[in-house]
Structure 1
Amino acid sequence: MKEKKVVSDYVIIISMVVIMVVVFVTTLYPFLNSLAISFNHADDTILGGISIYPRVPTIANYKQIFTNPTIWKAYGITFARTILGAAGGLVVTGAMAFGLSRKNLVFRKFYTFFCLIPMYFGGGLIPTYFLIQTLGLRNNFLVYIIPNLVNIWNMILMRSYFQSVPDALEESSRIDGANYITIFFKIYWPVSTPIIATIALYFGVYHWNDWFMPNIYITNQDLKPMTSVLLSIISEAAFAERMAAAGAASFAGEASKGKQTNVRSITMATMITSIVPIVAIYPFLQRYFLKGIMVGSIKG
């Protein structure tokens, strides 16, 4: 028999709906506002007051972005870094996790403890900078890849997932003469799709969004990723705002008037184009993400 709801049940349901709507609107509004500004005409943007839709729609902002060769170079560096970094990180971190998941590994506990030390203690920025310089990785594309091939937290998640795979798979493979490399790539890799998709997403998001390393180790503009270009555009916007606050508002307004784009609209358009590719990947990996992160984090 269906249980009849009382007044308190309706109060709880209505409260939950209201809270979820508020959270949804609060989360979505900044994105919609940025999207509206990116599609708005420059003369109207400087007036302010744009909410979630463009008052004077235009695609001039995006035309200026995609006709700029610097943007395309930055996109190329970002895509190359994300793909190579995620693939390399998966293979190296996965191989490390697979080794530490083997119960017959000599000094297994010592190696695991040794790997945990960098999670709590770092060498510092200056020693790391000198190390990168000594290795010849300054102004080198490989500075994006090599230092990030191993992530200890991702390794722990993958190791925990590998430990949940039945030992019978490895034993049967060993009987057939397979070595550990074959077992890793042909046995454990195919059956570990959830955790591999999860870790690939972690590595990909990190490499796509990272701005710290290029600003520290890269001075060659041809090697700058999208995040650095976006940061420079935002700095230009901040400088324009400071000039306006210092009394040059009328001059800034006259300088921007009649132009199809301005720094603020270009900033928003650049930001939208930089986040859309990585956001578009989430729906395809979502079904693996929850399963992978749950299994990888629960079993120790």
Structure 2
Amino acid sequence: MKTKKFTGDRIFDFVNVTVILLITIIILVPLLNVLASSFSGSTALAEGGFIFFPKEWSLDNYRAVFKDTSIWKAFFISVAKTVIGVVTHVFFCAMVAFALSKKDLRGRKLYTVMGIITMFFSGGMIPTYLLMKQLGLLNNFMVYILPQLFSYYDVVILMNFFRQIPASLEESAQIDGAGVWKIFLSIAMPLSKPALATIALFNGVYQWNDFMTAKLYMTNKDLYPVQMKLYEIIVQQQAQSMNSIGNVALSTTSKGIQLATIVVTTVPIIIIYPLLQKHFVSGMMLGAVKE
């Protein structure tokens, strides 16, 4: 049976479609401009304005980015710290959340208060630097991993998911002889894949884009992630541009290098996101409606 739409519903649909279309255009126009400009020559970039299709098609900007062979080592460091960081962060937060989701946990209220405090207060940059120094994490790969192990915000999300698991499942597992670890790994974790994927996506994007950790705690260039390495390339290109003014025409500009680095650092996330999108949407929506 078809239902007839009222005038108000049609107006609502029209406004929704219009707003979504405008937001999409606002998002896509800058992205297209960055992508097209990164493949354009220095003369086209010097003219300024929006570019929706590469002018004077050129790969010089990308050649300048990948000219330094150490960029591949930086990519490896970024991939390693992202993968290891995500796995350890999700697993550690899941363990804490699973324990806090149990009402019979001793000291549960104290642990909850301690977790909430970490959401609103921190030691600040200088005390944190001194702490990392005392822990021996300066110029150490583990500085990318250990400080990011815990996030109480993520613990709260996982706690809500674990609470939705029927108690009868755990009771049945206990009757069959399963211990706490068996229940956590074989029941709680598989049933919470949407939440785990959501947290993994958020933390993975943060780990990949993290720049300040290397800036503050790293002087060993062999441990630079790709973000820090690309920052170095941009600074060097700007210095070369300043030194070359009035001498020779450059095939690349600092702006072109910047645009190329934006594309290089964004593409991996764009590739990975669709793989987690299904779980991400489920994780955001699950629990939103109570029956």
TM-score (norm 1): 0.87
User: Displacement, 1:15?
Assistant: 3.8
How many Å separate the matches in 1 of 2:22 and 2:54? 23
User: Displacement, 1:10?
Assistant: 5.3
Q: Deviations over 1:21-59 (max 9, x none)?
A: 221111111211111111112233223234221111122
User: Displacement, 1:152?
Assistant: 0.9
Question: Which residue of structure 2 lines up, in the alignment, with residue 255 of structure 1?
Answer: 248
Aligned partner of 1:228: which letter?
M
How many Å separate the matches in 2 of 1:228 and 1:205? 15
Paired residue for 2:266, among 250, 254, 275?
275
How many Å separate the matches in 1 of 2:237 and 2:213? 23
Aligned partner of 1:158: which letter?
L
Q: 1:11 to 1:155 in 2, by over 3 A?
A: closer
Q: 1:254 to 1:264 in 2, by over 3 A?
A: farther
Q: 1:275 to 1:172 in 2, by over 3 A?
A: same
Q: Contact 1:43–1:256 at 8 Å: present in 2 too?
A: no
User: Displacement, 1:215?
Assistant: 0.6
RMSD of equivalent CA atoms: 2.4
Question: Which residue of structure 1 lines up, in the alignment, with residue 256 of structure 2?
Answer: 265
Question: Which residue of structure 2 lines up, in the alignment, with residue 75 of structure 1?
Answer: 75
Percent identity of equivalent pairs: 38
Instruction: Structure 2: give runs of 5+ residues left out of the alignment.
Output: none
Q: 1:173 to 1:54 in 2, by over 3 A?
A: same
Q: Contact 1:100–1:159 at 8 Å: present in 2 too?
A: yes
User: Displacement, 1:192?
Assistant: 1.0
How many Å separate the matches in 2 of 1:16 and 1:237? 45
Aligned partner of 2:245: which letter?
A
Report 1:1-300 matches (<5 A). Answer: 2-3=3-4, 6=7, 12-235=12-235, 252=245, 255-257=248-250, 259=251, 261-295=252-286
Match of 1:61, SS? helix
Match of 1:255, SS? coil
Q: 1:15 to 1:105 in 2, by over 3 A?
A: closer
TM-score (norm 2): 0.90
Q: Which moved more, 1:222-231 or 1:155-164?
A: 222-231
Instruction: Structure 1: give runs of 5+ residues left out of the alignment.
Output: none
Match of 1:82, SS? helix
Q: Contact 1:46–1:253 at 8 Å: present in 2 too?
A: no
How many Å separate the matches in 2 of 1:65 and 1:236? 11
